[in-house]
Structure 1
Amino acid sequence: MSAKPLQRLCGRIAIVTASTDGIGFAIAQRLAQEGAKVIISSRKDKNVQEAVSTLSKQGLDVKGLICHVSKAEDRKRLFEVARKSGGLDILVSNAAVNPEAASVLDCSESSWDKIFDVNVKAAFLLAKEALPLLRQSKAGRIIFISSIAGFQPFDLLGAYSVSKTALFGLTKAAAIQLAPDNITVNAVAPGIIRTKFSDVLTSTESAKEEVLSRVPLNRLGTPHDISGAVAFLASDDAAYLTGENIVIAGGMASRL
């Protein structure tokens, strides 16, 4: 039986984007288990309703809404919900897309634009638009969900890998700017996590074996392997940690 999560986030309000399944859902669940009020979001209302229902039945304080992070009006509604809930202390930017499995220079221009629009530009805009609320918090937190691919690109995720490298730079630059406001900015770089998103890398036994050959712990990660680290970054335990990219990848190589 696993230990009960700590209660480090009581009284905090969090937004987690793309949080109705996979890593995002696990993060939302963990933050709520630690006492935060969590606002979840997704592009599809059905997914939002199902996730809110599941977490509410666990006794967790959650609410949700549709949010396509590339749409200004959706982001505005997201922060309005936070404002009406009492403010914002924690922003977890998790939304990402990869519409095309291709090497970086084989990627179509349309896929490149979509990848950078969602994975980088929307992350930047979410952080920028969250600032009025985060500056009112005693301990604001911005956490970008990047990827091990930002350090060690995957051939079939070429443009996606580059977009995740860009998040490392955004993390470093924003951390310096926001330090005087006592807002920390960090990134988490998951390795190969068992989700729908990673199916392209593990769809066959041979592909899975090739991936696992790079992982010293010799297993795929789970969404809950990531959620605990995010909860730590969101808490007072990480008050003196900013501008860092934390790799959670079972020992995979991680160097630019």
Structure 2
Amino acid sequence: MGELDKKVAIITGAGAGMGRAHAQLMAERGAIIVAQDIVGDRAEETAALVREKGGEAVAIACDVADTDTLMAELHKAIQRYGRVDILVNNAGIGGEPLLEETTEEDFDRTFGVHVRGSFFAGKAVIPTMKQQRSGKIINISSIWGMVGHHYASPYCGAKAALLGLTKAWAVELAPWNIHVNAVAPGGVVTEMVLSQPDAEKKMAAKMSRVPLARYAEPRELSYTVAFLASPRSDFITGQTISPNGGETIVGI
């Protein structure tokens, strides 16, 4: 018996990296996992890893930016279990073009995955959460959505938009006991990060600015996500937590 026992958790972008880590940790704590990914084999691999450890999981293959398909697939999952308790809007893509090099396709795809996908995933689960009068939504933003960067402005803008959605949803949904928070990681060692051009050089430069002098492992981010999904966060909503090794230090 864990603190998420029998809670149904939908995790987008769960086929690798942070999404897979979130799925595995929450399953260890008792959650039933709905693992979505644009690549069906990766989603099924995550679901299989959960089942191998004795958990319950199903896979969904779709593009989160394809609104009609996304909502239809999420509705099927909700009908299957009769409820939904947790949504982690984790799906994301990389890309680091300079402003003048950004194409309309780059812009639309980045906002389509990060913002459109998260918005309509939320729209899919909220009616059931309202009926239950409970729910936890965690939007995965980024430190770049908080402080910006000297390139990748579409990514920075999309991640900042998630922070705005988080605040608005927290206020709108509070009467139904639905909590909405954001996690804005700093550097995390994922396949997406390692696949970027000059990855090792960029990682070394970033680590020189981080007091803890390293990148996070995906599971370290999952501890924050699992906390926000748990009853221990029941008086927290509309907040952004940034596990970033001290790269940004703010507050009183």
Q: Same fold (TM over 0.5)?
A: yes
SS in 1 for 2:160: helix
Aligned to 2:156: 161
Aligned to 1:83: 79
State the distance in 1 between where 2:196 and 2:170 align.
32
Aligned to 1:172: 167
Q: Which amino acid aligns with 2:10?
A: I
Contact 2:140–2:182 (8 Å) recurs in 1: yes
Which stretch of structure 1 is more off in the superposition, 165-174 or 200-209?
200-209
Question: Residue deviations 1:160-209, cap 9 Å, x none?
Answer: 01110111111011100000010000000111100011126683543222
Aligned to 1:54: 49
Which residues in structure 2 correspond to 1:77-116 (within 5 Å)?
77-98=73-94, 100-116=95-111
Q: How many residues align?
A: 249
Superposed displacement of residue 45, structure 1: 1.8
Q: Quote the sequence identity (%).
A: 34
Aligned to 2:244: 249
Q: Which amino acid aligns with 1:110?
A: E
State the distance in 1 between where 2:189 and 2:241 align.
19
State the distance in 2 between where 1:246 and 1:187 align.
6
Superposed displacement of residue 155, structure 1: 2.7
State the distance in 2 between where 1:204 and 1:12 align.
37
State the distance in 1 between where 2:100 and 2:146 align.
18
Superposed displacement of residue 79, structure 1: 2.3
Which residues in structure 2 correspond to 1:15-30 (within 5 Å)?
15-30=10-25
Contact 1:151–1:254 (8 Å) recurs in 2: no
Contact 2:97–2:151 (8 Å) recurs in 1: yes
State the distance in 2 between where 1:202 and 1:153 align.
19
Contact 1:175–1:243 (8 Å) recurs in 2: yes
Aligned to 2:124: 129
Which residues in structure 2 correspond to 1:145-224 (within 5 Å)?
145-199=140-194, 203-224=198-219
Give unmatched runs, 5+ long, in structure 2.
none
SS in 1 for 2:127: helix
Superposed displacement of residue 138, structure 1: 4.3
Superposed displacement of residue 116, structure 1: 0.8
State the distance in 1 between where 2:100 and 2:167 align.
27
TM-score of the pair, normalised by structure 1: 0.91
SS in 1 for 2:107: helix
Contact 2:70–2:121 (8 Å) recurs in 1: no
State the distance in 2 between where 1:124 and 1:77 align.
15
State the distance in 2 between where 1:60 and 1:203 align.
38
Q: Which amino acid aligns with 1:76?
A: A
Aligned residues: CA RMSD: 1.7
Aligned to 1:8: 3
Aligned to 1:3: none
Q: Which amino acid aligns with 1:80?
A: K
State the distance in 2 between where 1:106 and 1:139 align.
44
